[in-house]
A and B are shown apart, each in its own frame.
Chain A
Amino acid sequence: QVQLVQSGAEVKKPGASVKVSCKASGYTFTNYGITWVRQAPGQGLEWMGWISGYDGNTNYAQKLQGRVTMTTDTSTSTAYMELSSLRSDDTAVYYCARGGSQLLYWADYWGQGTLVTVSS
């Protein structure tokens, strides 16, 4: 069965970076992409970006350009999302989800979420 297992909760200080991992199993990693979505406390869903599991091609939300980096390690079927220059409004639950091999595709399986808290 398809599973996405994310790394554990993080607490970071403003200005620091965080790297969240998402380990996939139950499917051929390189046939799909990974989408990253976050949700601030009490708020809606915010799309952060997408990375191809095949060739590492990325597409980031304009708002996060320059601060977000998405990568994959196909040898371990793991995707990573790194967010730098953290601010208090980056406090959120971060989700990875299986997307398509191309950008225009839906997200059908989701990770359990990783809480990132930014606080001095």
Chain B
Amino acid sequence: DIQMTQSPSTLSASVGDRVTITCRASQSIASWLAWYQQKPGKAPNLLIYDASSLQSGVPSRFSGSGSGTEFTLTISSLQPDDFATYYCQHYNKPFGQGTKVEIK
């Protein structure tokens, strides 16, 4: 089975910071990767699909890149609404363990 590993598990940052989260697959998954944002008590929200395509309605400060086994989610300028937990997922397969973005 393909395993997804995210890093870091927790990230402390300030408003306006550039933030990067990494997701690694145990074997090549081409570009079949999505990124989700989840806030406490809420359902996940799709941010990025096909590794780099921005879901409709998602702010352009979010971007995704990568293919094969290494992927990144970047927030170009962290906003107060972005403090949340982020998950990567190879489509319909296990999620990464999550990255919690906290206020520094």
Could you tell me the dominant secondary structure of chain A's interface residues?
loop
Contacts of B87 in A (CB 8 A): 44-45
Known: A106-B34, A106-B49. Is A47-B43 also a contact (CB below 8 A)? no
Closest to A47 in B: B94
Q: Please state if A99 and B44 are interface contacts (CB–CB under 8 Å).
A: no
Q: Please state if A45 and B95 are interface contacts (CB–CB under 8 Å).
A: yes
Q: Is B92 an interface residue (CB 8 A)?
A: yes
Closest to B35 in A: A106
Known: A106-B34, A106-B46. Is A47-B97 also a contact (CB below 8 A)? no
Q: Is A53 an interface residue (CB 8 A)?
A: no
Q: Please state if B91 and A104 are interface contacts (CB–CB under 8 Å).
A: yes
Closest to B30 in A: A104
**Least CB distance, B20 to chain A, in whole angstroms:** 20
How many of chain B's residues touch chain A, expressed as a range?
20 to 34
Within 40-72 of A, Cβ neighbours of B (below 8 Å) are at 44-47, 50, 59, 61-62
> CA A111 – CA B43 in complex, angstroms?
7
> CA A40 – CA B89 in complex, angstroms?
17
Contacts of B98 in A (CB 8 A): 44-45
Q: Please state if A107 and B95 are interface contacts (CB–CB under 8 Å).
A: no
Contacts of A103 in B (CB 8 A): 91-92
Q: Is B55 an interface residue (CB 8 A)?
A: yes
Q: Please state if A107 and B34 are interface contacts (CB–CB under 8 Å).
A: yes
**Least CB distance, A20 to chain B, in whole angstroms:** 14
Q: Please state if A47 and B89 are interface contacts (CB–CB under 8 Å).
A: yes
Q: Please state if B1 and A106 are interface contacts (CB–CB under 8 Å).
A: no
Interface centre among B1, B87, B95 (most CB of A within 10 A): B95
Which residues of B are at the interface with A, using a C-beta cutoff of 8 A?
A: 1, 32, 34, 36, 38, 43-46, 49-50, 55, 87, 89, 91-98
Which residues of A are at the interface with B, using a C-beta cutoff of 8 A?
A: 35, 37, 44-47, 50, 59, 61-62, 95, 97, 99-100, 103-108, 110-113
User: Could you jot down 7 A-B contacts, CB within 8 Å?
Assistant: A37-B44, A44-B95, A45-B38, A46-B94, A47-B94, A105-B92, A107-B34
